[in-house]
A and B are shown apart, each in its own frame.
Chain A
């Protein structure tokens, strides 16, 4: 529900907007005198409804809407509506600061030549908006999720790998040796002995004496 108004009575327009939004059309209202334009829109948070007002679940109280990087800061009404008044014609930037949600900044063009014309687009996705209804692009999860304990994670851990390697050496290697040709094995053993490479048996005291 994008609306751009040159108005004196903001609230009445706000209610008109509310009414018109039911007919689901972009509204452009301009009224006679006044200084500057106004932008009003709505922030939609998941789980936020009209009922949320007053209940602790209503997160709207923690949301700020920031114009032009801090020139104006406003807050949400219980139903998610917000408005900025007394704005100059030009291109403005609206940002929504809400913990737990990622909102794209919105570029809003306020036209001086065609009073009442408004264009809005998300700067992140370059998607144009028919109505100034801002929705989060994604939820933000600030914490790493602790993986539940599993055997795999233990196995994958460096220690687990070490153990796994040991097990392979202990149980698989002899199997491999068995499959080898006894002739070849003897030759290999002889070769090793002649080279003096310490075998596992040599390392363990008492076992090397053969």
Chain B
């Protein structure tokens, strides 16, 4: 009895006392890792003054501005701008401010160079779009201030670099002049502004930069017209192309006169057919023209003649000119030669002379060089050395100095498109005895230390030792499968067409692969990742592999490309350029004898193609022929269609793997009142443990669990913009739950005065969605649960417990069961970037919603808070069931942020993967940063926690044994005494 009582108390206590999902500060980094990236670098400015640490300031395609340490490539500071806030240019002013121009030339910001604090922000207005240009002249200084010239939106602005005040503005849009170039004249405070009006009128303005006074204005017409970029070859000459793209036009505007000079490309001995383009560069007396697949360096001779200096293939990259010591200029040329990259630094204007020539070995997985920036430094012998910052095709950033790669950054990981996971290889058998003995000693020592830690007796060295032991003992970075399924490979596909395998233990890159590009397809788009082969039962010798599906071109009719990648070795097994397109890819729930998953590719003619193309696959497919259904969402037309397979393709070429389809049903939303903004379905691999839910009244509710459920949200077209663009009266949000086999609308609900964006997650029998309520002006989250009414009479709990219910009776997707829904809505404080739900191996563990908030944090919210049965005064029975009293808003508990005090900047997606251990789920959040952690939504009830003190357990057992003997002796004595009495 007593033992039972103890067990009961223990159970009760353990369920109460263990803190909910939260972390102690010293546990950071045990189960999680965080990596910071910046993205593909667009601009780079070096800051290498003698004092202070050398740094380079970069802006990237992910709208990041960052200051990097030139020695190691680490991030000093970094800011992620808004999604629409694309950086147009960066520079350094006054030697202490980083100036950025962004948002199509409308926002100018200054950041403090040492710490990245924003100093000022200025908004530039203008009426018309024009090329945004940022110029920070070095010589335009008044007292301690210096001018920043910005040409954007048809205007030229002069901005003070101290406080961002706009000193003067000159509007060129009024004269319909589109500014092409702002040129600073040496040794004077005058600037030239040149531009076109229309396509043939050339304008040159001479302006006093100090006050914006117009000194001179010249204009001239050129009959041929202008097109494309201009290349400035000297302070008063520029080169551009005429509209036929076959004539180079040299425009000189010196001495207040504009003169045109035409040079046929064919006169330079070049074939001008094809795509001719002038590349923007800042070399003096020289410019680059790209013709088809080669590049020409053309020089302007002293007699104003053009001559070809050099001809290279199009993979060669040229840097901007760098001015070093006493006005000397240099630029870098990077050429590819096999596995090597040749970097040549040449003095300006002199092609045949080389300042530096280096050749570095380059990993071919990095692809081609895309950009190069150079910087000089003084060697110890007072000569000039050069370092080059190279941006590669795979978005990585390398610093090259003295023929060596000093550091590199894998910045493709800032632009993850798709993620999947792969198991690691199984560990080979065999453990040595010595190892066990050694580890036993270590184990004891470790536990002694841990005990010290728990008793708060540990010295700082001990604490450090405990941390080190914890990190080591977890064996989290081993390259083999573990018992709990915590170690996995995260296979990520990035915008750079590069696939990385990250180890889930510490986030290191195990392998990376730049996807092979074929002749026909040099820039595939719309890449996606699918599990192709995940061997577990049979075919254990096969390595798992993933399928990458891409599109060769922009339009949806473009042919698809397939690529198969082995996830253990990172080798591309195979790749195909298909003849048909792929607008939709459907992994089927069938695998063949080698555990290759069958996939269907839907092309733009609504035909489906079966992969892999084997006879076995086709025989499996033929068996399931009539059971294959899918849907397509055409958001632009407001149509959702259901499809089924009809017959084999009837074409001239007999293709066994091609099938015609038919439309089974379609739902057409009225275009004038509803616009589809979100469509979410259940995760295909989700596991549901039980179909029934026993309520407190001993009642059974049957969950309506269907894999074919689709959640669709539509909004009023007027309210499809941002918040603030629509009135509550003209905004509504309609949500639907649709069965994708029959096209039946199971549930429809209208939220008046609500608008998007909608983020939703569908799991088991419930859907949770987040939207904006315009009336309350707050975000809301709604939950809808669906229950099957047709089985409601089957209510006997006893039968359910004994397994004598009819739940095992086959369920047909064609049946139309009666369903009921329960809904409830709560306020939620933050904007949301992504929503996901935890998933566990068997679906027993309760669920948590993972909400990526606007602050780039990930919040774990118990599903219990989003229970439609919450009421203001729950009965005692309901309380016991775990129903929380109703509140109008969802709680935000700081300890339940899974990212704790870290940010996943630019958060885009959250992936959850079940571990083998039922209580645990693995979470990977990605954006510009990556974050990975392990979560136990109902705590780790099936394993001991990491900080479980075995030593204390041993101590207790010893104490108990001792107590038994003591009591034994005592009781014997007592009995003896009693007998004597």
Question: CB of B461 within 8 A of chain A?
Answer: no
Chain A residues with CB under 8 Å of B17's CB are: 156-157
Closest-CB distance, B121 to chain A (whole angstroms): 7
Give the residues in chain B near A26, CB-CB below 8 Å: none
B440 sits at the interface (CB 8 A)? no
**Are A69 and B959 touching (Cβ within 8 A)?**
no
Residue among A68, A141, A161 making CB contact with B10, cutoff 8 Å = A161
User: Could you tell me if A146 and B903 are in contact, using CB atoms closer than 8 angstroms?
Assistant: no
Q: A69-B854, A77-B121 are in contact. Are A162 and B6 (CB under 8 A)?
A: yes
Q: Is A25 an interface residue (CB 8 A)?
A: no
Q: What chain B residues lie within 8 Å of A66 (beta carbons)?
A: 82, 831, 854
The answer to whether residues A53 and B117 also contact, given A149-B456, A162-B6 and a CB cut-off of 8 A, is yes
- Of A8, A54, A148, A166, which contacts B960 at CB under 8 A? A166
Q: For B963, what are the chain A residues with a Cβ–Cβ distance below 8 Å?
A: 166, 170
A105 to B122, CA, bound (A): 24
Cβ-defined contact, B112 with A54, below 8 A: yes
Contacts of B652 in A (CB 8 A): none
Does any Cβ of A come within 8 Å of B620's Cβ?
A: no
Q: Judge whether B968 and A75 touch: CB under 8 Å.
A: no
B901 within 8 A of A: yes
Nearest B residue (CB) for A89 = B724
Task: Answer whether residue B809 sits at the interface, using C-beta atoms and an 8 A cutoff.
Answer: no
CB-contact partner of B854 in A12, A95, A159, A200, under 8 A: A95
Q: Is A19 an interface residue (CB 8 A)?
A: no
On chain A, the residues within 8 Å of B776 by CB distance are 123
Interchain CB contact (< 8 A) of A102 among B83, B833, B894: B894
Task: Contact check, A200 vs B971: say whether CB atoms are below 8 A apart.
Answer: yes
- B82 CB contacts on chain A under 8 angstroms: 66, 70-73
Complex formed: what's the CA distance from A34 to B956 in Å?
Answer: 78
Contact with A along B896-928 (1 / 0, CB 8 A): 010011010000000000000000000000000
Given that A69-B723, A70-B831 are contacting pairs, would A142 and B968 also be in contact in the complex, using a CB cutoff of 8 Å? Answer: no
**B781 CB to closest chain A CB, in angstroms?**
14
Task: For residue B878, give the distance in angstroms from its CB to the closest CB of chain A.
Answer: 28
CB 8 Å contact bits of A77-96 with B (1 = contact, 0 = none)? 11000110111101111010
Q: Check if B722 is an interface residue, CB within 8 A of chain A.
A: yes
Contact call A98/B855, Cβ cutoff below 8 A: yes
Interface residue from A34, A72, A140, A165 paired with B84 (Cβ < 8 Å):
A72
Distance in angstroms between the alpha carbons of A204 and B6 in the assembled complex: 21
Query: Which residues of the other chain, B, contact A61 by a CB distance below 8 angstroms?
Result: 77, 115-118
The distance in angstroms between the C-alpha atoms of A127 and B713, with both chains bound, is 32
Say yes or no: A100 contacts B77, CB within 8 Å: no
User: What is the total of A-B residue contacts with beta carbons within 8 Å?
Assistant: 197
Assess the A158–B13 pair: CB atoms within 8 A: yes
**0/1 interface trace, chain A 133-163, chain B, CB 8 Å (1 if under):** 0000000111110101100000011110111
Contacts of B953 in A (CB 8 A): 159
Q: Within 8 Å CB of A53, what residues of B?
A: 112, 117
Q: Assuming the A-B contacts A107-B777, A149-B454, A163-B956, are A95 and B831 also in contact, with contact meaning beta carbons closer than 8 angstroms in the complex?
A: yes
Task: Confirm or deny: B312 has a beta carbon within 8 angstroms of a beta carbon on chain A.
Answer: no
B26 within 8 A of A: yes
Q: Say whether A143 contacts B25, CB under 8 Å.
A: yes
C-alpha gap A1/B905 in the complex (Å)? 30
Asked whether any CB of chain B lies closer than 8 Å to the CB of A172, the reply is no
* B120 contacts partner chain A, Cβ-Cβ < 8 Å: yes
The stretch of B161-169, B226-234, B421-429, B937-945 in contact with A is B161-169
Whether the pair A11, B122 counts as a contact (CB closer than 8 A) is: yes
A-contacting residues, B104-128, CB 8 Å: 106, 109, 112, 114-123, 125
Q: Is A210 positioned at the interface, with any CB of B under 8 Å from its CB?
A: yes
Which residue of B28, B83, B903 contacts A70 across the interface (Cβ within 8 Å)?
Answer: B83
Chain A residue numbers with a CB within 8 Å of B722 are 68-69, 71
Report the Cα distance A8→B155, complex, angstroms: 13
Q: Would you call A93 and B724 a contact (CB within 8 A)?
A: yes
Q: Which residue of chain A has its CB nearest to the CB of B889?
A: A124
Assembly CA distance A8 to B584 (angstroms): 49
Whether the pair B975, A201 counts as a contact (CB closer than 8 A) is yes
A97 part of interface (Cβ distance < 8 Å) = yes
Q: A8-B125, A123-B778, A158-B14 are in contact. Are A142 and B117 (CB under 8 A)?
A: no
Q: Are A148 and B975 in contact (CB under 8 A)?
A: no
Establish whether residues A140 and B116, one from each chain, have CB atoms under 8 Å apart when the complex forms: no
Given A69-B723, A104-B829, A144-B895 in contact, is the A11-B125 Cβ separation under 8 Å? Answer: no
Select which of B119, B125, B857 is within 8 A of A34 by beta carbon: B125
Q: Are A100 and B10 in contact (CB under 8 A)?
A: no
- How far is B166's CA from A72's CA once the two chains are assembled, in angstroms? 22
> Is B189 on the interface with A (CB-CB < 8 A)?
no
A144, B831: Cβ atoms closer than 8 Å: no
Chain B residue nearest to A81 (CB atoms) is B121
Determine which residue in B10, B82, B116, B456 has the highest number of CB atoms from chain A within 10 A of its CB, and name it: B82
B971 contacts A204, C-beta separation under 8 Å: yes
State how many angstroms separate the Cβ of A10 from the closest Cβ of chain B: 5
Given contacts A75-B109, A124-B829, A143-B23, contact A70 B854 (CB under 8 A): yes
B165 close to A11 (CB less than 8 A): yes
A35 CB–B CB distance under 8 Å: yes
**Chain B 12-23: CB-based contact to A (< 8 A → 1; otherwise 0):** 011001010011
Contacts of A70 in B (CB 8 A): 82-83, 831, 833, 854
Residue of B nearest to A144 (CB): B22
Q: Which residues of B contact A158 (CB under 8 A)?
A: 10, 13-14
Q: Given the known A-B contacts A141-B894, A163-B959, are A99 and B855 also in contact in the complex, defined by CB atoms under 8 Å?
A: yes
Q: Given A78-B119, A95-B831, A146-B24, are A169 and B2 neighbors across the interface (CB < 8 Å)?
A: yes
CB atoms of A105 and B115 under 8 A apart: no
Q: How far is the CB of B670 from chain A (nearest CB, A)?
A: 26
User: Does B476 sit within 8 A of A, measured CB to CB?
Assistant: no
Question: With an 8 A cutoff between CB atoms, is B9 at the interface?
Answer: yes
With A105-B830, A146-B24 as known contacts, state yes or no: A83 contacts B777, CB within 8 Å: no
Pick the contact of A83: B79, B121, B903 (CB < 8 A).
B121
A199 and B24 alpha carbons, distance in the complex (Å): 46
Given contacts A105-B829, A149-B455, A159-B956, contact A10 B123 (CB under 8 A): yes
CB proximity of A58 to chain B, nearest CB, Å:
6
- Taken together as a complex, chains A and B put the C-alpha atoms of A51 and B831 apart, in Å, by 32
Of B23, B723, B952, B968, the most chain A CB neighbours within 10 A belong to B723
The verdict on A195 contacting chain B, using a C-beta distance below 8 Å, is no
Q: B818 contacts the other chain (Cβ, under 8 Å)?
A: no
Q: Mark A179-210, 1 if CB is under 8 A from B, else 0.
A: 00000000000000000000011001011001
Chain B residues, CB < 8 A from A8: 125
Question: Which residue on chain B has the smallest CB distance to residue A159?
Answer: B956
Cα A20 to Cα B927 with chains together (Å): 41
Smallest CB gap from B126: residue in A: A35
B754 to chain A minimum Cβ distance, whole angstroms, is 13
Is A130 at the interface (CB under 8 A from chain B)? no
CB neighbours of A100 from chain B (8 A): 901
Contact between A161 and B117, CB atoms less than 8 A apart: no
A54 with B166: in contact, given A149-B454, A158-B13, A166-B963 (CB under 8 Å)?
Answer: no
Q: Does A132 contact B (CB under 8 A)?
A: no
- Give 26 CB contacts A-B under 8 Å: A11-B122, A11-B163, A54-B117, A66-B82, A68-B722, A69-B831, A70-B831, A70-B833, A77-B118, A93-B777, A95-B830, A95-B855, A97-B854, A102-B892, A123-B776, A123-B829, A124-B829, A142-B895, A143-B895, A146-B25, A156-B17, A157-B17, A158-B14, A163-B956, A163-B959, A207-B968
Contacts A161-B13, A169-B2 known; list 4 others, CB within 8 Å.
A75-B121, A93-B772, A144-B23, A162-B6
